[in-house]
Amino acid sequence: MKKMLYFIYMWLIFMPIFLVLTILTAITVIIGCFLGGERIFAYYPGMIWSWLTCYLALCPVTVKGREYLNKKQSYVFVANHQGAFDIFIIYGFLHTHIKWVMKKGIKKIPFVGAACQAAGFIFVDNSTPKAATKTIEEAENRLHDGISVVVFPEGSRTYTGKMIRFKKGAYQIAVDLHLPIVPITLNGPYDVLPIGKLNIHPHRMEMVIHPPISTDSLNTSHKTLQELADKTQQIIAADLWEKYK
């Protein structure tokens, strides 16, 4: 009975409100950034949109470790990628100015793509080594004055709830700019909305923010970057719920 009631709520109440909120948020971001308020409008409308989405979806969020962050410091955040709600948790509850590194295909989504471009988010292009290098350079140019970047090193959402091996792009950015890396463990989004599904399931979610890892003394060799990627993956895995390990 509860599942049926939630199904009705989701399609008759949640989805219409979510679509309206998404369009209004996108328009606000586009206009605000166009008028020169990127620092404010690239972050706060999206943060409110994400918080409201979790609230309306009846998915409570618990956050641990926010005390490790300094709002004046730029970071490279790396997180496991369980599902679509990963974005809402991080955007809505991290409480830090961020730029997203996202797939190029998001540009094609009406309103959302234009808003992401206006907000200065970075679109990944791995079509050629030259294009991939340009993506990293663009991300590096965004990181200043306490602006951070969020990357999902797995590259795509998990199909099983369990992590796959992390790629090195995020770590290249951190080492190049000598920025701290902050691992983030996400629990629950896979249960709410896994890849390939349309129906949302109410479920509690959790974000664990781990202490920053300094990159000041590291070099950009392939071995160093992969070791760093593996280290952060182990840190993230340690706080995964048992069913995701």
Task: Measure CA 123 to chain center.
Answer: 13
- Residues near 211 by beta carbon (within 8 Å), at least 6 away in sequence: 65, 68, 182
Q: What is the CATH number of the domain that holds 94?
A: 3.40.1130.10
Strand (E) or helix (H) holding 161: none
* Dist CA 220 CA 13 (whole Å): 50
Q: Among residues 228, 123, 214, 232, which one has the least CA distance to residue 172?
A: 228
Report how many domains make up the chain: 1
Report helix, strand or coil for 98. Answer: strand
For residue 198 the two structure tokens come to 């349309």
Total residues found in the chain within this entry? 245
- pLDDT computed for residue 123 by the predictor: 85
d(CA 203, CA 190): 9
Query: Tell me, what's the pLDDT at 146?
Result: 84
Predicted pLDDT of residue 173: 87
Instruction: Return per-residue pLDDT of the chain as tens, 245 residues.
Output: 788 999 999 999 999 999 999 999 999 999 999 999 999 999 999 999 999 999 999 999 999 999 999 988 999 999 999 999 999 999 999 999 999 988 888 888 999 999 999 999 988 776 666 766 777 777 777 777 789 999 999 988 999 999 999 988 889 889 988 899 999 999 999 999 999 898 999 999 999 999 999 999 888 788 889 999 999 999 999 999 999 99
How high is the pLDDT of residue 114?
Answer: 95
> Which amino acid, 89?
I
Domain membership of residue 90 as a residue range: 2-244
Distance CA 28, CA 45 (A): 7
